Chain A
C-alpha cells in the first residue's frame, strides 16, 4: 500500500543545534518529492523538489536529499524563525498529477 510517513512527529532544538527530518515513502513510480514549510494558520510554502535518488538541493540553512525510499531535510544551525511544520509530499504514478502529503514534522527552535 502506498504510504508517506514523516518522523519525528515533533522536534525541539536549541538555536544552532543541527538536525534532520525524515520523510519515508512507499509508492509506485515516484515522480517527484516536494518539501513545504507551513506556519500555523497559513498555506504551505514551497521549499524544494527532488526527482531522482541521489539528488540534493540547498537553500540557506536547509538541505534536502533523496534516496529510493526516503528523503531527509537537514537543518544546519537553525534559528528561531525556522520554527514551523515541515511537510513532504509525493507525486507518484498511482496518483496521477496529485500530491499525497505526509503528516508533517513540527519543528520548534528555541533561542
Chain B
C-alpha cells in the first residue's frame, strides 16, 4: 500500500458526460501528479500540482482540468467525454515535487466511456 488513495475505483459513463476523479496524497506529500494509462499509449503524464499550485503540464487535453485543494487532495475533471478517454487514471504523490524524488502511485481509477 503506497498510502495514496483514489476514488472511485471504477467509473462507467456515457459519451459527452463529465466526471471527477479524486486523489488523496500520502501523508506529508505536497505534490500530486496525474497520469493516464491506456492500452496503446502506456503511462502518459497529464499534470502536476504542488501545494495547491499548478507546476507542470503534460499531454492534458483542454477538456480535462485539475486542481489541488488546501488539504492537498486533488481532483481531475474530465468533460465532454469520448470513447477514447476510456483508460486507467493514476494519481501519484511525492514529498516536494522536486528533482530526483520518487513518485508513489495510487491504485487508479478505471474509466469506461460507453
> Which single member of B48, B56, B100, B108 contacts A43 (CB below 8 Å)?
B108
A104 partner residues in chain B, CB cutoff 8 A: 42
Give the CA-CA distance A43 to B90 in the complex, in Å.
7
Please state if B97 and A99 are interface contacts (CB–CB under 8 Å): no
A64: min CB distance to chain B, Å: 13
- Chain B interface extent, by class: 20 to 34
> Which single member of A34, A43, A87, A100 contacts B2 (CB below 8 Å)?
A43
A 9-45 binary contact with B (CB < 8 Å = 1; else 0): 0000000000000000000000110101000011111
Please state if A41 and B43 are interface contacts (CB–CB under 8 Å): no
For A, the interface residue count at a CB cutoff of 8 angstroms equals 24
- Known: A44-B43, A45-B2. Is A98-B56 also a contact (CB below 8 A)? yes
A107: min CB distance to chain B, Å: 16
A residues with CB within 8 A of B: 31-32, 34, 36, 41-46, 49, 51, 87, 89, 91, 96-104
Chain A, Cβ-Cβ closest to B50: A97
CB of B64 within 8 Å of the partner chain: no
Chain A, Cβ-Cβ closest to B99: A31
Please state if B105 and A99 are interface contacts (CB–CB under 8 Å): no
